[in-house]
């Protein structure tokens, strides 16, 4: 244990020393260096990362969840089942991204805006962390089980807002924390809360320029939900090749948008309610930034 603590302190001291030296060098040159790739894509795994889509770039995002591993050989351990979201994301500029998507989970459409408020940097402008704000709206288009029941469009709407703070430590490790508010116009029982709050965290450990390992956890504050809900836990391996980011993940969440995996996760890792899945991010550059002339 003492060796572990000593190694941990030495590594952190080396990182802080390197960052301080780089900062002093850039301050002398009068330049500002912004941190790149705190995370490899706009998602940590299921949840939003601090990143916005690149300026002028269109990203096609396919998120695919198979069924639970504990369904057994008859369902080929979940491979016979699937839940998918297909989305489009676009970077309006260096600070604003927009996106739309459609999920098979409750046949849900969603749209979002993400603003990069602050960006981690060093040199002339020293900013220790990055901050982004995310907001979406989703509409459930699943048919009612009773066709005679009155269908109110407002009851199908839900909203999510997140404040995301992140920091990249050196070239290897990134950490972010997100505070989340979800509002549902319709809930299952009068005892359920329309407003739900959670705290999420995401980490990324870079193995190489191509591969990184990610982890994600969303804690839904207790006492807000009558039905049993489990906190969402996910792990992934990210592979970046050119304009692709390919994520292989394991999670206890079946939904693949915020209102679903944060507030409606029912799977338990210790019961084998584990869903294997993947995300594919494919980037297309539609607008190249203007080159400034000296």
Q: Which residues of 183-204 are buried (b: 16+ CB within 10 A; e: fewer)?
A: ebeebeeeeebeebebebebbb
**Could you tell me if 44 and 214 are in contact, meaning their C-beta atoms sit under 8 angstroms apart?**
yes
Residue 292 lies in a domain: no
Within-domain flag for 294: no
The verdict on 11 and 46 lying in the same domain is no
pTM: predicted TM-score of the whole model, two decimal places? 0.81
Tell me: do 8 and 119 sit in the same domain. Answer: no
Residue 94 covered by a domain: yes
In a domain, 293, yes or no: no
**Residue 201 CA, distance from chain mean position:** 10
Q: Which domain holds residue 48?
A: 31-285
Contacts of 134 (CB under 8 A, 6+ apart): 48, 112, 113, 114, 115, 160, 161, 162, 164
Each of the 294 residues of the chain gets a pLDDT tens digit; together they read 433 333 434 334 434 444 434 443 444 446 888 888 899 889 999 999 999 988 989 999 999 988 888 888 887 877 878 889 999 999 999 899 999 999 999 899 999 999 999 999 888 888 899 999 999 999 999 888 777 788 888 889 999 999 999 999 988 999 999 999 999 998 877 778 889 999 999 999 999 889 999 999 999 987 776 667 889 999 999 998 878 899 999 999 988 899 999 998 888 888 888 999 999 999 888 877 665 444
Radius of gyration in angstroms for the set of CA atoms belonging to the chain, rounded to a whole number: 21
């Amino acid at each position: 244990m003492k060796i572990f603590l000593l190694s941990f302190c030495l590594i952190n001291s080396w990182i802080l020393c390197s960052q301080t030296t780089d900062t002093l060098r850039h301050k002398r040159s009068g330049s500002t260096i912004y941190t790149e790739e705190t995370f490899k894509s706009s998602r940590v795994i299921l949840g939003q990362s601090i990143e916005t889509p690149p300026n002028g770039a269109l990203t096609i995002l396919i998120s695919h969840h198979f069924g639970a591993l504990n369904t057994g050989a008859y369902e080929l351990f979940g491979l016979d089942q699937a839940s998918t979201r297909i989305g489009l994301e676009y970077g309006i500029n260096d600070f604003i991204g927009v996106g739309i998507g459609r999920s098979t989970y409750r046949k849900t459409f969603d749209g979002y805006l993400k603003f990069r408020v602050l960006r981690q940097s060093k040199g002339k402008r020293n900013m220790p962390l990055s901050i982004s704000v995310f907001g979406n709206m989703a509409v459930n288009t699943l048919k009612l089980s009773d066709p005679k029941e009155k269908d109110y469009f407002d009851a199908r709407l839900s909203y999510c807002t997140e404040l995301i703070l992140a920091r990249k430590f050196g070239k290897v490790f990134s950490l972010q924390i997100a505070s989340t508010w979800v509002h549902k116009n319709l809930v299952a029982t009068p005892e359920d809360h329309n407003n739900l709050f959670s705290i999420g965290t995401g980490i990324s450990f870079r193995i190489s320029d191509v591969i990184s390992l990610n982890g994600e956890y969303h804690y839904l504050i207790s006492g807000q939900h009558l039905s049993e809900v489990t906190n969402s836990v996910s792990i992934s391996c990210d592979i970046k090749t050119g304009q692709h980011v390919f994520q292989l993940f394991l999670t206890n969440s079946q939904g693949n948008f915020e209102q679903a995996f944060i507030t409606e996760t029912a799977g338990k890792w210790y019961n084998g309610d584990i869903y294997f899945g993947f995300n594919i991010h494919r980037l297309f550059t539609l607008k190249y930034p203007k080159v400034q002339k000296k």
